[in-house]
Amino acid sequence: MALGTYGLSNQRQSYHYLSTSAQHNRLRRDLWARGSYIFYLDSALRVNGLDFESEIGRPTLATSFEAATINGLDFESAIGNLNIRTNIQINGLDFLSALGNLTVSETFSVAQIGHDADSFFLSRQAETNPRSIVRQFTYANSEFSDRIIKYPSIKRNYVDVVGKGFTLQVENASKLMNELIEDRTSFKQDGAVFYGYQSTPSSSNVLQIGNGFLTNVNYSDHRANLTFKNRIDLLSQTFISTDTTSQMGVSFTGSEWNPADLTFEILTNNSYGANFSSVTCKYNAQIHYDSWLQWKTNLAAENITVQGFFPYGTNYVQALKSIAELTDSAIYAEADNRIYFLRNLTGVESFSAVVSESDVLKVSTTGDAYDLCNKYSVPMSFSVVSNKVEGPRSTLTFVNTASVNSFGTSLKQPTTQMIWYTNSANANNLAQRVVFRRRQPEIAVKITTPIKYLGHQLGDIVYLNLPEVGITNEPYTMIGHTINVEGQTMDIDLSVGHGIGIVNVTVFEIGDDILGRLDNTTGVLG
């Protein structure tokens, strides 16, 4: 039974929906053009102020999309706010004729990741030998789990703004994956990896642990290797400002900017190239809005303001690295393929974990005498003349003399001239943060554990108890992890150089320029 039609904004043909069952909720869009497709649904449509079913038929839906545009109709005024998770089916109604063309932008639904884990998931994670493990893979909203030969290792690190892809191996003896060759529009479709546990005979409790866009396919021996890369990786191929005629850089010197506002501007203002969604809520498909808002709030609380200039030919990864470095922040793609922002590099205590020897399969520690900083110089007050940055006109330098006396001088400075501070207080804020955390040589720890810490995200505090290496209840920050889905293990990268921050407390350390004065209340922004 045909339920209606809609046309994608970038497609000329309409696709027809059919429904015969409620057992599945994944969609193979790449097959629509070839004929009727069985579209399985199991969710619900919520409309404020209207009995939608009585008015125009029974709605059913699948995964989500960012926004619905109805030509010739103010949909909200006509039938109320529509809380949509995806494409609409109306039983007994030709949706196209009744309401106009439905234009779908980037497919998106709010995924359950790390901190979203519920008590059932966490209880299974805590078991020595968890029961009923579920691994899933979807591509273009279609279920592909039964065709996976080998699941990937998914790596994530919040220190560097870089995109890290993952590769799955699927069977192609059926030749179904040949569709990727026959229909090249399949590239850059969304793929997602899930991990969790069977909760009932008919349902599972899973978290999304990886997401990306299909960028590469390799065929051999009746198998296909599918490589997916995240949003950060795609941004590395996108330049800020698409004006190839004037070849002018993008300047932000007219006023002082909260770095978060500047970042949101270059990502969402269509004139710069990224064309990200400007939706200011959790349904933003590209930007994790809540983390961005908290980042902005933290920067505003410290009165951090900057100016900037991105030369012609600057890609977005270069720009985001500059912003992250000059604000002592992390900018990275999480498991839902949205960009996250984190100012507090000292770790998130509310989602802390305790790891003991019984939890660890392997441990290694690395001490680096050169990985320290006790003198930090911040150039500021640049000027932009003749389409380039000139200066600096001034430099602020902060020194920890106690560290210098112990280890010798280790001078560092920002590697970028794309972003700069507008006053000495802002520059001093950065210098103190960096020197406070890095005034001693770094001790890094890497542990291998079973997959039992998926309820944690990058930036969380991990308390380590590892007598083997002389560590007892010491706080580290999770700065990276590799999830080996096939091997059922996790490699977790931990840094002591971030530690737990000290904010507006009375502290004391003999001979320390920051902490060495008695009765001195400081605001160390670790």
pLDDT tens per residue, range 358-367:
999 999 998 8
Task: Enumerate residue ranges in the chain where pLDDT < 70.
Answer: 1-109, 160, 344-348, 497-526
CA dihedral 222, 224, 225, 226 (to 10 degrees): -170
- CA separation for the pair 120, 204 (Å, rounded): 11
Q: Say what the pTM is.
A: 0.75
Q: In this predicted structure, what is the pLDDT of residue 225?
A: 94
What are the residues facing 279 on neighbouring strands? none
Q: In this predicted structure, what is the pLDDT of residue 244?
A: 81
Nearest Cα to Cα of residue 525 among 508, 506, 500: 500
CB-hemisphere CA count at 13 Å for 110? 11
What type of residue sits at position 201?
P
Q: In this predicted structure, what is the pLDDT of residue 346?
A: 61
Nearest Cα to Cα of residue 154 among 208, 111, 116: 208
**Alpha carbon of 462 to those of 67, 119, 394, 478: distances in Å?**
39, 19, 40, 7
Q: In this predicted structure, what is the pLDDT of residue 399?
A: 96
Q: In this predicted structure, what is the pLDDT of residue 451?
A: 94
Q: In this predicted structure, what is the pLDDT of residue 122?
A: 95
Q: In this predicted structure, what is the pLDDT of residue 395?
A: 87
Burial 304-340 (b: 16+ CB within 10 A, else e): bbbbbbbbbebbbbbbbbbbbbbbbbbbbbbbbbbbb
Bond into 414 cis (ω within 30): no
Rg of the Cα trace of the chain? 26
Nearest Cα to Cα of residue 38 among 53, 22, 58: 22
- The answer to whether 62 and 86 have CB atoms below 8 angstroms apart is yes
Q: In this predicted structure, what is the pLDDT of residue 162?
A: 73
Question: Could you tell me the two tokens for 402?
Answer: 């106690």
pLDDT in tens, 255-308: 999 999 999 999 999 889 999 999 999 999 999 999 999 999 999 998 999 999
* Pure H helices in 226-301: 231-235, 259-268, 289-301
- CA separation for the pair 387, 247 (Å, rounded): 9
Q: In this predicted structure, what is the pLDDT of residue 446?
A: 95
